Amino acid sequence: MNYKITTIPGDGIGPDIVREGCRVLDAIGKKCGHSFTYTETLAGGAALDATGEPLPKATLDACLASDAVLLGAVGGPKWDVLPGAKRPEKALLGLRAGMNVYANLRPALMFPQLSAACPLKPEIVAKGLDILIVRELTGGIYFGDRGRNDKGDSAWDTEAYSIPEIERVVKIGFDSAMKRSKKLCVVDKANILETSRLWREVTERMKASYPEVELSYMYVDNAAMQLVRNPGQFDVIVTSNMFGDILSDEASQITGSIGMLASASLGDSGPGLYEPIHGSAPDIAGKDIANPLATILTCAMLLRYSLGLGVEACMIETAVERVLDEGWRTADIAGSARDREALADKLVGTKKMGDLVLKAIEAL
């Protein structure tokens, strides 16, 4: 079967890593009898430079007409001086809203091969670290009414959620928990926020349909603390757009492997939007040193969630594990300067890491 993938390489290291992701998809296709047709489009700073808009209509149209969208990263210091509506990040919000991908799945996974990079004490992560954050992505304060008064000396941003918006993302939380360790934690600020109280009411009404799921609620300030104190208590976390943004950065950092983490943004139907968690790292763009593994693992999520190719997704994940088992590392996951030196020829760049994964896929 042929699948249509829209790619958005974006800015900084985006083109370097998306290239490797596509090579891996092609290798899987070759092995398993699928083919992929790519349509490369512009968004973020690259689109601003070429068209004056962070998200040209042609890009959104191409995304909506495809089976899945693979995004590298957007943004960089060059465009930081621009006003809000013209910033590269605007492209991300436009894509999320335009594709109606309201559920952002951000797994925070510690790879056992890289456990030395985890900044927490070994006894805190003795059982490993595997949390799934489900972040609401198309509502809340990111999209609420905002503005300034006439004098410009007062400003507001509004957090608003409707019952259907809450229901659909909490459902993803419950369904994800059912596929994992059957624990769901709703993170909110229900001691202060009315929106959080509505999240709790809606969740309480839904829980009867998931009798096997152990449900809990936690205030976001406490959750931020518990994530470093005892992260093993969490399985699936479901939360609002803003809290999910903050907690997912924290969760990814405690895995020690931010260059390894993938994400998927999904709606009810239509294509999903897939991107690595890390940013555009403009300082290392085009130098063949960025770690492509997060994007490669993002391609696995793409196969699993948008194309229904679970076996093929597992093949990519296994191939990445093999490459790590063999000791290959890009600089970001190679430890200290001294560790890097000791790695000698096992320290590789972007393209070589891609080659190694291709070889591991062929050998499966």
Chain residues binding Mg ion by CB under 5 A are 245
> In terms of CB distance, is 218 or 258 closer to ligand IPM?
258
Instruction: Please state the closest distance from residue 95 (CB atom) to ligand IPM, in A.
Output: 11
Annotation marks residue 245 as catalytic: yes
Q: Does 249 qualify as catalytic in the annotation?
A: yes
92 vs 281, which CB is nearer to ligand IPM?
92
Quick check: is 325 catalytic?
Answer: no
Measured from the CB atom, the residue of 73 and 185 that comes closer to Mg ion is 73
User: With binding defined as CB under 6 A, does residue 250 bind ligand IPM?
Assistant: no
> Which residue of 11, 245, 312, 332 would you call a contact of ligand IPM, by CB under 6 A?
245
Residue 123: burial class (beta carbons within 10 Å; 0-12, 13-18, 19+) = exposed
Minimum separation from the CB atom of position 145 to ligand IPM (A): 18
Q: Which residue in the list 249, 351, 352, 355 is annotated as catalytic?
A: 249
Task: For residue 189, indicate whether it is catalytic.
Answer: yes
Contacted by 92, from ligand IPM, Mg ion, none: CB < 5 to 8 Å by type: ligand IPM
User: In terms of CB distance, is 136 or 188 closer to ligand IPM?
Assistant: 136
> Any catalytic annotation for residue 219?
no
Q: Report the site for ligand IPM in 84-103 (rule: CB under 6 A).
A: 89, 92
The site for ligand IPM, by CB under 6 A, has a size of: 3
89, interface contact from Mg ion, ligand IPM, none, CB < 5-8 Å by kind: ligand IPM
Q: Exactly one of 245, 274, 305, 332 is catalytic; which is it? A: 245
Q: Does 40 bind ligand IPM (CB under 6 A)?
A: no
Active-site residue numbers?
142, 189, 221, 245, 249
